[in-house]
Amino acid sequence: MFSQALMVSLRILAFRAGPQDFPYSPQLTQVIAPLAVAANYLVFSQVLPVAMSLAMALTAVAGIALVTRGLLRARQVEARFNQTLNALLATTTLLTLLLIPTFAQLAPKLQELAQNPGLMNNPEVLQLPQGAAFLMNLLNVWNFAVTTSIFRQAANARLGLGLLFAVCAALSVAFLVIVSGSFAAVLFGPHPPPAVGP
């Protein structure tokens, strides 16, 4: 079943299959979901603390599941949830794994920018690796296009509505991820030393 899921995922990434072709299996979700969390964590942890990275990775996967269920329920095709969620998580995980080495080239510059926002006014000093930045954008666009295709087919929607679903899903998940990261920073971030009284 795992080899079948991988082959279907590759075909979905090539726009030659859809979520309906993905094997139905709740047990498969128990494998794909942790892999998706791990892939997201490996990206976030390159620029963020461990607690924030883990919280954001967990929220990203949970957010995809929540938004997918909501959209399919609104379209009255909730029975397609398992295959749709597995297709989304599997394809996103594969593209995220491709993103990790690319993001690693950008991470030091992003950390430098976070510590010194003034570098935005001096782009010649910042000097982001152009090839890595282009590849990261390409992977993100590819991921968005695949997500649109999956939602369109799962919800029996036209391309425009599929695009709308993908945009709503991306914005909703991004919001949840930012909120969870902020909570994790407050809960697990460095605490100031206690004040010493006279």
- pLDDT tens digits for 78-90? 999 999 999 999 9
CA 134 centroid distance within chain: 18
Helix, strand and coil content of the chain, in percent to the nearest 5, comes to 80, 0, 20
Q: What is the mean pLDDT of the chain?
A: 87
Split at pLDDT 50, 70, 90, the class of 133 is confident
Closest by CA position to 30, among listed 82, 73, 77: 82
Judge whether residue 45 has pLDDT over 70: yes
Query: What length is written for the chain?
Result: 198
- Look at residue 190 and tell me whether its pLDDT is greater than 60: no
Task: Say whether pLDDT at 18 is over 90.
Answer: yes
Q: Strand, coil or helix: what is 54?
A: helix
In 3D space, the residue among 154, 161, 142 whose CA is nearest the CA of residue 18 turns out to be 154
- What does pTM read for this prediction? 0.86
